[in-house]
Amino acid sequence: MPELTSRHSPSFARLGGHPIAIGAVALALVLLGIGSITAWRAYTGTSPETDRVVATRQLQARTAQASEQLVEKTKGLEATQQESIDQLQVVQDQLQTVRRLLAAQQADTRKLSEQVGTLTQSIDGLRQSFASTQASEPDDAPAPRKRSAKGSAKAKPHGIKPHGVTSASRKRGKTQG
């Protein structure tokens, strides 16, 4: 195995012998990379950090705008809800008024029904008393009519009425019977 290491040893020895040169080349490559990135950013005028900052600010602006829109919509919904509540309150007040009016009308209707019932009973009572009064009276009214009809041509001159019979009592007799 010593021979194998000897074959590769000159290349390792050559690289291992100049560590300062390797460090200098690596440093030069890093500096060249940084310089090229800086030149590229300066030439294009953009940098990822600036783009990120701009994108972040745009997102913040959009978020603020969306928040403002949400606040406006929420206020609009609150106003609409309050209007609905007010309208509902008005409708409830109107309903209460209608209920009160209906109750008053029903009370009036009950009173009128009672009054009609009382009047009907009074009319029935008057009819019964009138019928009993008419039944208890003797048949005086028809007798003078018969007499006056038979005797009016012989004994009575034209225009003289029999005693006790007036035009008012004749009218009552006609409407009663």
In angstroms, rounded to a whole number, what is the distance separating the alpha carbons of residues 147 and 39? Answer: 153
pLDDT value of residue 136: 81
Q: How confident is the model at residue 133 (pLDDT cuts 50, 70, 90)?
A: confident
Whether the CB-CB separation of 41 and 47 falls below 8 Å is answered with yes
Q: Which residue has the tokens 């409708």?
A: 91
pLDDT value of residue 177: 45
Rounded to the nearest integer, the mean pLDDT of the chain is 78
Per-residue pLDDT, averaged over 62-78, amounts to 95
Which backbone phi and psi does 165 adopt, to 5 degrees? Answer: -110, 120
Whether the CB-CB separation of 145 and 162 falls below 8 Å is answered with no
Does the pLDDT of residue 170 top 60, yes or no?
Answer: no
In this structure, what token pair is assigned to residue 126?
Answer: 């008057």
**Size of the chain, expressed as the number of residues it contains:** 177
Per-residue pLDDT, averaged over 103-111, amounts to 96
Whether the CB-CB separation of 142 and 170 falls below 8 Å is answered with no
Span 145-163, pLDDT tens digits: 555 544 444 544 555 555 5
Whether the CB-CB separation of 171 and 156 falls below 8 Å is answered with no
Say what the pTM is.
0.38
